[in-house]
Amino acid sequence: MKISELFNVSGKVAIVTGGSRGIGEMIAAGFLANGVKVYVTARKEAALIEKARELSEKYECECIPVPCDLSTMEGMTSFVNYIESNEEHIDFLINNAGASWGEPYAEYSEKGWDKVMDLNVKSIFYLTQKLTPILKIKASIEDPSRVINIGSIDGLNVPALESYAYGASKAAVHHLTRVQARRLVGDNILVNAIAPGPYESMMLGAAVNHDYSLIESRNPRKRIGSPEDIAGLTIFLCSRAGAYTVGEVITSDGGLVGTAGHDLSQL
Ligand SMILES: NC(=O)c1ccc[n+]([C@@H]2O[C@H](COP(=O)([O-])OP(=O)(O)OC[C@H]3O[C@@H](n4cnc5c(N)ncnc54)[C@H](OP(=O)(O)O)[C@@H]3O)[C@@H](O)[C@H]2O)c1
């Protein structure tokens, strides 16, 4: 019952997709600070390699960069081949890489729609499918493996921005989480989703000119999310403490959904 055992994740091996910045970097940092070996992916090779070096040094734990484009079947296959040739098992898969696309309703392009759906939804299904054998290797009733899909409160609330595919893709992520959870719980792989609210990142920053003050003032907690918020929830889900939580979509949004529901003025 000690916290040091209930929340212990040290010695585990994790994959964090989109780990070169933003929420993925925050989750990777939380793992590394607590003794988890982490594979991080992103498309931009130089930035990813530099980030992995920086995180390894800061937390004195191994962070391994694997550049790849996870929005294509070829990219996923080459990534999975790399993992299978370098690891005998994986404990945690964090499906975090995601993209958004904003355009006025009348001009909303198929290119944007496909980009968002391919990465945010299709790649979560296929990457998890391809990694299921290696996630199963050490998974047991006492110590299950974990998959965490990063959804969004935009999949729960109705977004105010003109990001039509994004909200739909995140609602799909939340439901896919339940479908995957049902299929994989029998293999001792527990699937859950985190639906973040506002966190500092390139994605959200681009939408608000990197000025979060309005978002902070409208949030019930009067701030945006911090690395500790998202890392702490992820570690809970991956630790002994979270081993009876399955198929859930858990918000990390300062209370936006819980206290404001569908009130668009709160966004
Ligand atoms: N920040 C928020 O407020 C917020 C709120 C709710 C949900 N989320 C979700 O949180 C997740 C992370 O978002 P973020 O805000 O941290 O975004 P971000 O700063 O844009 O980071 C996205 C990460 O994914 C990688 N990535 C993008 N496309 C990729 C691809 N095709 N293949 C492999 N990696 C790819 C990026 O690296 P490269 O560009 O080098 O590929 C980067 O590492 C997303 O699923 C997002 O929808 C974020």
- Dist. CA 69 → ligand 1 center (Å): 12
The number of distinct structural domains making up the chain is 1
Q: Which domain holds residue 181?
A: 3-255
Give the residue, out of 43, 48, 126, 226, with the most ligand 1 atoms within 8 A of its beta carbon, to mutate for a pocket test.
43
Residues 6+ apart with CB under 8 A from 175: none
Indicate whether residue 174 lines ligand 1 (CB < 6 A): no
Report yes or no on 15 lying in a domain: yes
Rounded Cα distance between 225 and 230, Å, is: 7
pLDDT confidence of 263, banded at 50, 70, 90? Answer: low
Sequence letter at residue 113: W
**Residue 65, domain CATH:** 3.40.50.720
Q: Is residue 102 part of a domain?
A: yes
* Best CA proximity match to 40, nearest among 112, 92, 1: 92
Q: Is 21 in the pocket of ligand 1 (CB under 6 A)?
A: yes
166 is catalytic: yes
Residue 261 in tokens:
């529901």
When computed from its CA atoms, the radius of gyration of the chain, rounded to whole angstroms, is 18
Task: Please say if the pLDDT value at position 206 is more than 90.
Answer: no
| Residue 48 domain flag | yes
- Residue 248 — φ and ψ, nearest 5°? -95, 155
Is 267 a domain residue? no
The residues, any chain, with a CB within 8 Å of residue 228's CB and separated by 6 or more, are: 30
C-alpha 4, offset from chain centre: 24
- The residue from 82, 166, 212, 244 that is catalytic is 166
Q: What are the pLDDT digits (tens) for 38-83?
A: 999 999 999 999 999 999 999 999 999 999 999 999 999 999 999 9
Q: Which residues of 195-217 are buried (b: 16+ CB within 10 A; e: fewer)?
A: bbbbbbbebbeeeeeeebeebee
Q: Which pairs from 129-135 meet CB under 8 Å and 24+ separation?
A: 130/76, 130/77, 130/80, 131/15, 131/80, 131/83, 131/90, 131/93, 132/184, 132/187, 132/189, 134/83, 134/84, 134/87, 134/88, 134/89, 134/90, 135/89, 135/90, 135/91, 135/93, 135/187, 135/189
56, with CB counted inside 10 A (0-12, 13-18, 19+), is middle
Q: Is the CB of 218 under 6 A from ligand 1?
A: no
Question: Is the CB of 198 inside a 6 Å radius of any atom of ligand 1?
Answer: yes
Residue 261 lies inside a defined structural domain of this protein: no
Q: Is 262 part of any domain?
A: no
With 80 as the cut, is the pLDDT of residue 231 above it? Answer: yes
Q: Answer whether residue 195 shows pLDDT above 80.
A: yes
264 domain residue, yes or no:
no
**What is the length of the chain?**
267
- From atom 44 of ligand 1, which residue's Cα is the shortest distance away? 98
Q: Whose CA is closest to atom 24 on ligand 1?
A: 18
Does 22 contact ligand 1 (Cβ within 6 A)? yes
pTM of structure: 0.97
Average pLDDT taken over every residue of the chain: 96
Looking at residue 93, its pLDDT comes to 99
Binding site membership of 152 for ligand 1 (Cβ less than 6 Å): yes
Which protein residue has the closest C-alpha to ligand 1 atom 23?
18
Ligand 1 pocket residue status of 44, Cβ below 6 Å: yes
Pocket test for ligand 1, best of 63, 96, 170 (most atoms within 8 A of CB): 96
150 neighbors 23 (Cβ within 8 angstroms): yes
The answer to whether residue 266 is domain-embedded is no
